Amino acid sequence: MDLKNNGNIEPVDWRDDKTLQDCMTYMLEKEAMCDVTFRVGKGRKSIKAHKNILASRSDVFHTMFEGSLPEKEEIDIPDIDEDTFKKILRYAYTDVVKISNKNVTSMLYAAEKYMLTTVKTKCSERLRSTATSADAVVTLSTANQFHLEDLLKESLQYIEENTEICLSSSYAVELNSDCVQMILMSEHLSCSETEVCNFFLKWIETQCTMQGQEVNAKNMRGIAEGLMRFIRFPLVEKKYFSNEVSHSKLLTKDEIISVYRYHHGEKSLLFSDKPRYPMIPNKNGQTICIYRHATCNYTVQSCLTHALKFHLNRSIWLKGCIIFGPAETHNSYGRYQADNESIVSRNDYYDSEEECRPIIESTEDSHNEEDSKFTFELTDDSDNVVCWEVLDITSGTSFNNTVALTFEKPILLKSEKQYTISVRDIKPQTFLGIDCKSVCIKDGVTITFENSPKSTVSTNVTQGQIAGIMYSV
């Protein structure tokens, strides 16, 4: 030992004051007494190690060195990159392994190849933690590659429920075409078609770069081949389509013209215009009914269009609309006459779907089944159709004989957009709401109504056939 620094004893042997893990790491990094050489990755980087240590950790390595046909020369490992192989060696020497979103795929591949159960388990744990995070696309890609069906379903469902944030992940544009197809095929993506299209264009450009190709029409179409049909170009916002998509080199002139014609009322024969229907993340979430009227007054009968614009202070899941039911019905308040001799007034909201219980009973004068049907339409601020359904007016709720109608599937409405509700083809004579509010507030959700030029009858911000909406947050 050497005496330095005022008599303090300092170690001169590298083993002094070191743990077994430290010593093993030193032997690996300094290549001390190594007896096997691996040529790793595409560049065949030389990495040395110790046969006995590797054989003690992996049956694959044991067979490689001590089997019937043992490896005697330098061993080529072309299918694993240098960084991943070094991490596998470090685990073999120290029991320490670092799994990240970036290396989980390559580490899982190496763990399976060398039968390293602990490493594979840690990879699966990492994947499961990302299956329900913004990096769910990483799990989707890896689960698809290694046929992990449960993880694949779990990650795809999370992507459906949180599409916007997942497609914004830096890993999303690096997905292979199989994974991108799985996403684009989904009917339940919870973002606008404009956001889907924006991701698709970025993904194509990134793939061109990754493949060393120029970003031109030919190469973009080659990469997008087979996936184009899953983008609902007619539903992309008109301004974005005109400014970005039409100049992106992706679509042909005929395809661009087809979408422009759709904007002017002509059916598109090249692309689907069927809206996607997002899934509600919290399927048991409370359904809230919010009404804009204080009372109902006189009856109306019109097959023309009732319409209102509205916007929100936060995003919601629209679950249904509320309109007025037929005037000639029985209910718990007594019989409504067509001349509306009896008026019920109430100024509260219903907090749950159960409180919107149907109470209307058929009478001898009730309309036939076809007469009870009417058309509901929801469009966004670019006049794209978000939802179109034929609904049945025969069931009602207790507040002024209104009818709460649940959609087939909930619709995600964004706070930054403006929407228009339209109802038409209402054949029975119905009541009309009056003393309506232009702003309705409930549980932190503010809905602001405005007049719509689409309304061709008496519905506006102060009165009308459209009583309110049903939603959850």
| 415 or 358, greater pLDDT | 415
CATH of the domain at 124: 3.30.710.10
433 membership: H or E segment, kind and range: strand 426-434
DSSP 353: G
390 membership: H or E segment, kind and range: strand 385-392
Task: Check whether residue 257 and residue 316 sit in a common domain.
Answer: no
pLDDT at residue 206 greater than cutoff 60: yes
Beta-carbon count within 10 A of 399 CB: 22
Task: Select from 246, 263, 280 the last residue of a domain.
Answer: 263
Among 83-87, 124-128, 188-192, 323-327, the least confident range: 323-327
pLDDT value, residue 432: 84
d(C-alpha 309, C-alpha 314), whole Å: 16
pLDDT at residue 343 greater than cutoff 80: no
Task: Check whether residue 122 and residue 161 sit in a common domain.
Answer: no
d(C-alpha 67, C-alpha 333), whole Å: 89
CATH of the domain at 195: 1.25.40
| 361 or 74, greater pLDDT | 74
Task: Check whether residue 310 and residue 367 sit in a common domain.
Answer: yes
pLDDT at residue 7 greater than cutoff 60: no
Q: Does 150 fall in a domain? A: yes
pLDDT value, residue 373: 83
Matching residue, tokens 């990469």: 223
Structural domain span for residue 202 = 143-263
Q: Does 138 fall in a domain? A: no
Task: Check whether residue 255 and residue 209 sit in a common domain.
Answer: yes
Q: What average pLDDT does this structure show over 151-176?
A: 92
Nearest to 371 by CA among 401, 393, 339: 393
Amino acid at the residue 205: E
Task: Check whether residue 179 and residue 80 sit in a common domain.
Answer: no
Task: Check whether residue 148 and residue 122 sit in a common domain.
Answer: no
Report phi then psi at 229, rounded to 5. Answer: -70, -15
Quick one: CA dihedral 334, 335, 341, 347, positive or negative? positive
pLDDT at residue 382 greater than cutoff 80: no
Task: Select from 62, 97, 129 the last residue of a domain.
Answer: 129
Task: Check whether residue 109 and residue 155 sit in a common domain.
Answer: no
DSSP 388: E
Task: Check whether residue 77 and residue 163 sit in a common domain.
Answer: no
Q: Residue 285's pLDDT band (boundaries 50, 70, 90)?
A: low
**Helices 217-224 & 193-210, crossing angle to 10 degrees?**
110
Task: Check whether residue 436 and residue 306 sit in a common domain.
Answer: yes
Q: What average pLDDT does this structure show over 235-261?
A: 92
Matching residue, tokens 């005109």: 242
Percentage of the chain beyond pLDDT 90 is: 44
pLDDT value, residue 403: 80
Nearest to 308 by CA among 151, 228, 424: 424
Q: What average pLDDT does this structure show over 165-182?
A: 94
d(C-alpha 149, C-alpha 143), whole Å: 7
Rg for the chain, CA atoms, rounded: 32
Task: Check whether residue 250 and residue 298 sit in a common domain.
Answer: no
Quick one: CA dihedral 353, 359, 360, 362, positive or negative? positive
d(C-alpha 107, C-alpha 439), whole Å: 55
d(C-alpha 413, C-alpha 105), whole Å: 36
pLDDT at residue 224 greater than cutoff 80: yes
Task: Check whether residue 190 and residue 326 sit in a common domain.
Answer: no
d(C-alpha 94, C-alpha 221), whole Å: 49
**Structural domains counted in the chain:** 3
Q: Does 205 fall in a domain? A: yes
Q: Residue 274's pLDDT band (boundaries 50, 70, 90)?
A: confident
CATH of the domain at 437: 2.60.120.820
C-alpha dist (Å) from residue 216 to 213, 220, 221, 250, 309: 8, 6, 9, 8, 41
Task: Check whether residue 107 and residue 48 sit in a common domain.
Answer: yes
Amino acid at the residue 440: C
Extended beta strands in 292-330, E state: 295-302, 306-312, 316-324
pLDDT at residue 185 greater than cutoff 60: yes
Nearest to 195 by CA among 276, 256, 254: 276
DSSP secondary structure letters along 223-246: HHTTTGGGS-GGGS-HHHHHHTGG
Tell me the H-state helices in 30-176.
Answer: 51-57, 59-66, 82-94, 104-113, 117-130, 136-145, 149-161, 163-167
Q: Residue 368's pLDDT band (boundaries 50, 70, 90)?
A: low
Provide the phi-psi class of 280: left if phi over 0, else alpha when psi is between -120 and 50, else beta. Answer: beta
